[in-house]
Amino acid sequence: MQIAALIRTQQMSALEVMAATRQQAERIQVACNPFVSFNWERAMTQARQCDQRLSAGDSAALPALFGVPFSVKDLLNTRDMCTSYGSRAFQHYQPDKDVVAVSRLRAAGAILIGKTTTPEFAAKVLTDSELTGITRNPWDTQRSPGGSSGGACVAAATGVGPLAVSTDGGGSARIPAAACGILGLKVTMGAIPHESWPFHYGNNSSISINCRHIEDLVASFNAMSGAHTLDPWSRRTTTKLSLAPSPQGSPNRKKILFIPALGGQSCDQKILTLVQQTVTDLQRAGYQVDQANSDPLAFDPGIAMQMMAANLAARVRAMTPQQQELLGSGLKILLSEKTFRSDGVGLQADAMARSQLYDRLEGLLTDYAMILTPTLNAQPPQADPTQDQRVLINGEQQGLASWWSHLSIANLTGHPAISIPCGMDEDGLPVGLHALAGWDAEQTLVDLAAQVQRLYDWTDQLPTLA
């Protein structure tokens, strides 16, 4: 990680890094509104303590992320900052401890600078709420950055800290990663403990990572991953990631299945052309590529939508009447319009469909190391919720569900998945390539991201605002 190296070798002080981060954050906050709150007083104090340690000659065994600024999505508990979940109902809620992932980052030397925006309870794929207002895309501020980790991705895309900790329950880290032109890794279920998620069984959400540089993704994954007793899915050894390709990492040993229309949803041609070109370039680089012109998974996105909506309804039911009264109007409308599973047979039918999807996916992954698709099927919609927020796909206006239709597969089955920047469309907006691999195969995804970066170095592409 470059910033940690600069601090460790005293080419820059931790305080200089933090001051520059603060200056950038305050500028981007005005233009894009990616933060709920900041932690500058504590962050500056901790940066000074880093410098004092180095000045005293105590540079032995410095932690990997020594002095590195990071942000946390306002869906994850932090001991020294309020966690509102994007809701007025929890506006002043102060947790008494960090989630495990945040605690591990702090132990690795990283410094928390603030909490990033999320829609209320991460309940939609755009980032706005009655509590925090509208978060905007730095490539085009009239457009949304996507969601629900929109604030995290705007922060990472504009250089407000090299690392943003997010969550992904249906595409929430990958949607805005593609829309903002950065990396978005949804890890294997349990690879990073997610003990604060209230549904351990029937889980669909993972702690996730958003950043611009592969080195930062690797360092942060290694800091946060590993078994913890509070998350039943994390009770296993997690292999640490490396920037060096894995033993099976050479392209000629990687067989890929490219599915342009997973879930039967078409992709806008201007996006599909860029993704197809990247797949062709990967093939020229030595990857073996097959293309499926139909959906071999027979994926029904409705399974994920039903499960996510039912989980949300259960969370709302557990609130006090006073808290329910403070919920945003959009969330109330969503809850009133949805029909939720309440019968045991229906719930088990959904669980069985989820299991069958896992079986079909594992069948494909016996023959292929990865499955590639476009991350998103269209350009981002308008940011303002009072405007038409449909997306345009090949000249036809379609609902938001068409925008990200296939991403929730990885949430239903627990597999790791990543969005990788692969170019800019004709309107100057970033496009993402999506890859899904087998359980605990994050290294395979990192190897692919490194190969794509050799073909198209997105780190040279910055929004004008940055």
Pair 434, 370: CB distance under 8 Å: no
Give the integer Cα–Cα distance in Å for 179 and 83.
25
HSE on the CB side for 140, CA within 13 Å?
17
Cβ pair 144, 133 in contact under 8 A: no
Residues 415, 188 contacting (CB under 8 angstroms):
yes
Residue 313: phi, psi to the nearest 5? Answer: -60, -40
Q: CA-to-CA distance for 43 and 366, rounded, in angstroms? A: 47
Region of 197 on the Ramachandran plot (φ > 0 left; ψ -120 to 50 alpha; else beta) = beta
**Hey, what are 1's tokens?**
């990680």
Catalytic residue among 172, 196, 225, 419: 172
- Provide long-range contacts, Cβ within 8 A and 24+ apart, for 219-222: 219/1, 219/4, 219/64, 219/65, 220/65, 220/70, 220/105, 220/110, 220/163, 220/165, 221/185, 221/187, 221/191, 221/192, 221/442, 222/64
For residue 368, the one-letter residue type is: Y
Q: Among 84, 148, 149, 405, which one carries the catalytic annotation?
A: 148
Half-sphere exposure of 450 (CA within 13 A, CB side): 20
Contact 184, 208 (CB under 8 A): yes
Residue 120, SS3?
helix
Active site residue 342: no
Tell me the three-class secondary structure of 193-230, residue by residue: CCCCCCCCCCCCCEEEEEECCHHHHHHHHHHHCCCCCC
Candidates 73, 124, 186, 254; catalytic one: 73
Q: How far apart are CA 347 and CA 419, in angstroms?
A: 31
**Alpha carbon 439 to its chain's center:** 17
**Which residues, at least 6 apart from 58, have a Cβ–Cβ distance to it below 8 Å?**
none
Is 148 one of the catalytic residues? Answer: yes
Active site residue 186: no
Give the strand order in the sheet containing 183-186: 35-38, 111-116, 69-73, 163-168, 206-211, 183-186, 417-424, 430-437, 370-374, 255-258, 288-291
Give the residue numbers marked as catalytic.
Answer: 73, 148, 172
